[in-house]
Amino acid sequence: MAKRAKTTLVGKIHPDVLAFTVGQDPVLDLELAEWDCLGTAAHVATLARLRVRPPVIRPAEARRVIRELAVLRDEARAGRLVITAADQDVHLAVERLLTTRLGDVGRRVHTGRSRNDQVAVDIRLHARENLSALTLEAAALATELLRFARRHARLPMVGRTHLQPAMPSSVGLWAAGYAEALLDDLLTVEAAYAYADRCPLGSAAGYGVPLPIDRAFTARALAFAAPHHNVIYASNARGKCEAIVLGALGQVMLTLSRFSEDLILYSMPEFGYFALPPEFCTGSSIMPQKYNPDVLELIRAKTAVVLGQGAAACGIVKGLAGGYNRDLQDTKALYLDGLRTTRASLRILRLLVAALDVRRDRLLAGFTPGVFATDRALALVAGGRPFRDAYQYVRDHLDELDTVDPRAALAAKTGRRGTVNLDFAPLRRRVAAMQRQTLRQQRVTHRAFTRLLGTL
Ligand code: ARG
């Protein structure tokens, strides 16, 4: 016998079709719930200002709705909000809860909006909050790297190209390089934040509504930089916003992955430059001697996953006709997981760097005479020889190279005498500026949210 169709807010639907189309939304949307409450509050505040007769929502009714949305937001944060399969998603769940608790006025809140602009605004609110938090987490890791770099600024370490010993370098230079990489990666995170900082509300299903909705007011209520200018674009940017965030996350993860690979390599017994804190390694069930660099290996793997999530989101968007398509729903899991993974990776690496040990003897043992070959050629240049001749001379006499004190070799190229910069203060200043800007951003948005939920 055919299964009985399930009655939902948006029609009678075959239960298998409902389950298939709803997918993971009842679980995934829990993470968007607090943002759905805020977005709904802004929309209701805007509806209360509409100059239409009869009013869609009276100011006193809007205040009741917004008060209830504040309660719902707290419930969502405490994990007490439940989305049923019949709700389909958080949007209809919030509408159902408002109607159950407040009666008929709940049936008015969806006036002039669609789940399309609703989910888009939820994701953007979520993205801004999470990108700010991620920026602070990346800044904390950069700070830890710079602390480590300062502690070991001039501790010699062989610089490698093709993994082969190349030139004298230092632990400080190595670590600070990753701090600067993170700072530059944060430029792409900043760009993703700016992309997310537009309010799609009022675009509704993507074609606007015949109501004088003040979109600039809604945008201001949620502390967005501006509403989207074009309503079709507001809708089409769904999925792209997620892909752009994932793109920025992919860049951060790429840095973490290369750093992890360096640590895996340089902490293996054959190198032994670094000692991973034992509490960051897991052992083997059979081999008693093992301390494996699992955290670093998983970061390497998760980098591939996040890059793949970015590619998958682009793939979903690529062939879509303009306007909303249900395909977009599948960008949500990619986006949410990518953010969670990247933030967790930044946090665990900061802990690891704070506990990382160096092995001076092993670092020094890595220096072979060949590491000084280029410096020797340049010393000949200083005596007046053309570089190409000096290069050829040293190449022909490699066995005559002296072992130089690596500290002296490093000193010869730091400061005004060379291009190696072991002054990390400018990087520390960049981290501080990034932190200040992010905290300011958070203050501005959080103040707007409090104002929105507290008053009307
Ligand atoms: N859960 C849906 C999504 O994530 C919400 C939007 C549904 N819109 C629609 N026209 N069916 O895309």
pLDDT digits (tens, 9 = 90+) for 235-265: 999 999 999 999 999 999 999 999 999 999 9
Q: How far is the CA of 277 from the centre of ligand 1 (A)?
A: 46
Cβ neighbors of 119 (< 8 A, separation 6 or more) are: 32, 89, 91, 238, 332
Tell me, yes or no, if 162 is annotated catalytic.
yes
Q: CA–CA separation, 153 vs 382, rounded Å?
A: 27
The binding-site residues of ligand 1, defined as CB within 6 angstroms of any ligand atom, are: 25, 89, 115-116, 119, 324, 326, 328-329, 332
Residue 358 has pLDDT above 90, yes or no: yes
Nearest-angstrom CA–CA distance, 208 and 46: 15
Q: What fold characterizes domain 116-211+226-366+425-453? A: Fumarase C; Chain A, domain 2 (1.20.200)
Rounded to whole angstroms, the Cα distance separating 78 from 59 reads: 29
Q: Determine the residue of 31, 36, 114, 116 to mutate for testing ligand 1's pocket, defined as the one with the most ligand atoms within 8 A of the Cβ atom.
A: 116
Residues 160 and 175: their CA atoms lie apart, in Å, by 14
CA of 205 to the centre of ligand 1 (A): 10
CB 389 within 8 A of CB 182: no
Using an 8 Å Cβ cutoff, are 324 and 116 in contact?
yes
Dihedral angle over CA of 333, 71, 132, 252, nearest 10: -20
CATH number of 6-111: 1.10.275.10
User: Contact at 8 Å (CB) between 400 and 153?
Assistant: no
CB–CB of 341/257 below 8 Å?
A: no
pLDDT confidence band for 450 (50 / 70 / 90): very high
Output the CA 18–ligand 1 centroid distance in Å.
13
Q: Which helix (H) or strand (E) holds 13?
A: strand 11-13
pLDDT band at 2 (very low <50, low <70, confident <90, very high): low
β-pairing, 198-199 vs 226-227, is: parallel
Tell me what the pLDDT averaged over the chain comes to.
Answer: 96
Confidence label for 8 from pLDDT (cuts 50, 70 and 90): confident
Of ligand 1's listed atoms, the one at least distance from the Cα of 89 is 1
Confidence of residue 1 (pLDDT cuts 50, 70, 90): very low
Q: How far is 195 from 180, CA to CA, in rounded Å? A: 23
Supply the pTM of this predicted model.
0.96
Using the predicted structure, report yes or no on whether residue 456 has a pLDDT greater than 80.
no
Is 284 among the catalytic positions? yes
Q: Are 192 and 247 in contact (CB under 8 A)?
A: yes
Q: What would the mean pLDDT of 173-178 be, rounded to a whole number?
A: 98
Q: Looking at ligand 1, which residue's alpha carbon is closest to its atom 2? A: 329
> Residue 419 corresponds to which tokens in the numbers above?
């291009």
Name which of 7-11, 45-49, 270-274, 349-353 the model is least confident about.
7-11
Distance between Cα 58 and ligand 1 center (Å):
28
400-424 pLDDT per residue, tens: 998 899 999 999 999 788 899 999 9
- The residue extents of the domains of the chain are 6-111, 116-211+226-366+425-453, 370-411
Give yes or no for residue 321 having a pLDDT over 70.
yes
The mean pLDDT of 422-443, rounded to a whole number, is 97
Average pLDDT rounded to a whole number, residues 347-366 = 97
Q: Which atom of ligand 1 is nearest to the CA of 332?
A: 4
Percent of the chain clearing pLDDT 90 (strictly above): 91
pLDDT at residue 431 above 70? yes
Q: Candidates 317, 329, 331, 334: which one to mutate for ligand 1, based on the most atoms within 8 Å of Cβ?
A: 329
Ligand 1: nearest atom to the Cα of 10: 11
Are 340 and 132 a contacting pair, CB within 8 Å?
no
Hey, which bits of 273-336 come out as E strands?
A: 274-275
Pocket mutation for ligand 1, best pick of 119, 126, 238 (most atoms within 8 Å of C-beta): 119
Residue listed under structure tokens 């405490």: 78
- Whole-angstrom distance, CA of residue 27 vs CA of residue 47: 29
58-65: average pLDDT: 97
Average pLDDT over residues 152-177: 97
Distance 118 CA to ligand 1 centre (A): 9
Q: Band the pLDDT of 6: cuts 50, 70, 90.
A: confident
Dist. CA 144 → ligand 1 center (Å): 42
Residue 302 corresponds to which tokens in the numbers above? 């998760």
Residue with tokens 């410096």: 375
Total Cβ atoms within 10 A of residue 183: 19
Residue 88 alpha carbon, nearest atom of ligand 1 = 1
Q: Let me know how long the chain is.
A: 456
User: Of 140, 114, 97, nearest to 43 (Cα)?
Assistant: 114
Q: Whose CA is nearest to atom 3 of ligand 1?
A: 329
Ligand 1 centroid to Cα of residue 271, in Å, is: 53
- CA of 91, closest atom in ligand 1: 5
